[in-house]
Amino acid sequence: MSATMSPRPLSQQTIWITGAAQGLGAGIARYMAPSGTLLVLFDYDGQGVKRTAEQCGANASAIVADLSDAEATDAAIAEALALSPRVDTVIHNAAILVPKPFEAVDLGEFSRTLNVGLQAGFQLASAVWRPMLEAGGGTLVFVSSRSGIEGFDQEAAYCAAKHGLEGFSKSLALEGEPHGILSVTVTPGMYMKTPMSDRNYPDELKAKWVDPERLAPAFAYLAANRPAELSGTRLDAWTLSQSHQIDS
């Protein structure tokens, strides 16, 4: 491991997680909570994200925000920084996927999908970049999918957002490496039982899906260990979770 990317126990970290009302974001938060991590959870679903925060205990805070709106995202970031100006890890998991033929997609839908997936990713990373530089490092994790490297029928906006995240993360990895900032994309690597999956998976995939919390060890490992050799890469959460349990 590079000397510029020193490990930091989860118990000493502040971690932001977007899309934390349900699914993978909620699973990651619940998995990390027993380590004593200070969790700041973002979602537009106020009831859902508050429920996740309650499940995680006293060290978790819920921030209700529509990440498709730049001003609302900036306000949410300001609220999060007021809770803790030091941010060690950002896990940008929020996304919109509404399969639809391209001719039926209007500009508003296309923009909302890119705004949540890519624009909000930029805003989050921009907000924590200088504090991470000053602190000597940090971890940026952008949740991607096969749609980040392949095209899929009826997913023009979603594929564009995920492809954008892949390139964005690679660029940040190059700039961040000398300063101890790890930047990676992570795909689930396994079919997850989430509300989004329930809407979009056929029955044969639903027969294989797992609880998203089983993928959470990968995110805990990346946050706690900052493995420099992985910066700029695209990782598989299912595979990584099999070999790494929580390191608090």
Token pair belonging to 88: 């060690």
Among the listed ranges 2-6, 55-59, 146-150, 170-174, which one has the minimum average pLDDT value?
2-6
Top pLDDT among 32 and 147 is at 32
- What single DSSP character describes residue 66? -
pLDDT of res. 2: 43
Highest mean pLDDT among 76-80, 97-101, 190-194, 226-230: 76-80
pLDDT of res. 100: 93
Q: Mean pLDDT, to the nearest integer, of 154-173?
A: 97
Q: Mean pLDDT, to the nearest integer, of 165-193?
A: 90
CB burial of 97-131 (b: ≥16 within 10 Å; e: otherwise) equals beeeeeeebeeeebebbbbbbbbbbbbbbebbbeb
Top pLDDT among 13 and 193 is at 13
Task: List the domains of the chain with CATH numbers.
Answer: 10-243 (3.40.50.720)
Q: Mean pLDDT, to the nearest integer, of 115-138?
A: 97
User: Counting Cβ atoms within 10 Å, is residue 58 exposed (0-12), middle (13-18) or buried (19+)?
Assistant: exposed
14-48 pLDDT, tens digit per residue, is 999 999 999 999 999 999 999 999 999 999 999 99
pLDDT tier for residue 197 given thresholds of 50, 70 and 90: low
pLDDT of res. 192: 64
Q: Mark whether 158 is an active-site residue.
A: yes
Residue 13, pLDDT above cutoff 70: yes
pLDDT of res. 51: 97
pLDDT of res. 207: 55
pLDDT of res. 5: 76
Q: Which residue, among 124, 117, 188, has the nearest Cα to 155 in the 3D structure?
A: 117
CB atoms within 10 A of CB 132: 24
pLDDT of res. 245: 60
Q: Which of 158, 191, 201, 221 is catalytic?
A: 158
Residue 190, pLDDT above cutoff 80: no
User: Counting Cβ atoms within 10 Å, is residue 204 exposed (0-12), middle (13-18) or buried (19+)?
Assistant: exposed
User: CB-based contacts of 37: which residues, under 8 Å, 6+ apart?
Assistant: 10, 11, 13, 14, 15, 59, 248
Q: Mean pLDDT, to the nearest integer, of 124-153?
A: 94
Percent of the chain's residues with pLDDT above 90: 77
Cα separation, 220 vs 15, whole angstroms = 10
| Strands in the chain per DSSP E | 14-18, 38-43, 60-64, 89-92, 138-143, 181-187, 234-236
204-239 pLDDT, tens digit per residue, is 655 556 678 889 999 999 999 999 999 999 999 878
pLDDT of res. 247: 47
| Strands in 149-206 per DSSP E | 181-187
Residue 137, pLDDT above cutoff 90: yes
pTM value? 0.92
